Amino acid sequence: MAPTSLISSTSFDHDEPDWKPLEDLLGVDLVGAFMWMFELDLADGTSVYAYKHIATRAYIYVAVDGRTFGCVRRDHYREIPLHVAVALAFDGWEGLHPQPRQPDIVRDALRRIGAECR
C-alpha cells in the first residue's frame, strides 16, 4: 500500500455514540472493550469515529465506510491498513491487568483480522 497523504480534521462531540463502524470492524464481542470519544470530520468529507481501548488506552479511528486511520499529529490523520489499526489499539493488552473477561475471543478476533488482511 502506498503511503497516503495527511488529511486535516475537525473534531466534535456527539450526544449519542455510534458503535456500528466498530461493531462491523471487530464484532460485537470486542466493542465493550472500548469507550466512545469523539467524531472527526476530515477535510475530504469523511466522518471518522474515535474509540479508546479501556485497558491499553490506545485509540482506533474508524470511518463510517469501514476504513481505518491513524493520528499522525494533532488534527492530522492518514489512512492505515485495518490490521495495523487493530494492532495499535490492542498493543500490549495481554500484559495488562485485569485481563479481558474472555481473552480467547480477543485472540481469535485478532487472528481473524490478521488473516483477512493478508
Cell numbers representing residue 8 in the block: 486535516
Nearest to 24 by CA among 65, 53, 52: 65
**pLDDT higher for 117 or 49?**
49
What tens digit of pLDDT does each residue of 66-102 get? 999 999 887 788 999 998 999 999 988 888 776 777 7
In a domain, 1, yes or no: no
In a domain, 93, yes or no: yes
Cross-strand bridge partners of residue 78: 70
In a domain, 19, yes or no: yes
In a domain, 118, yes or no: no
In a domain, 98, yes or no: yes
The arithmetic mean of pLDDT across residues 57-65, rounded, is: 95
Structural domain containing residue 11: 7-113
**% pLDDT > 70, the chain:** 85
**pLDDT higher for 13 or 60?**
60
Nearest to 11 by CA among 40, 36, 45, 42: 40
Q: Kindly report the pTM of this predicted structure.
A: 0.82
Structural domain count, the chain = 1
Q: Which amino acid is at 64?
A: V
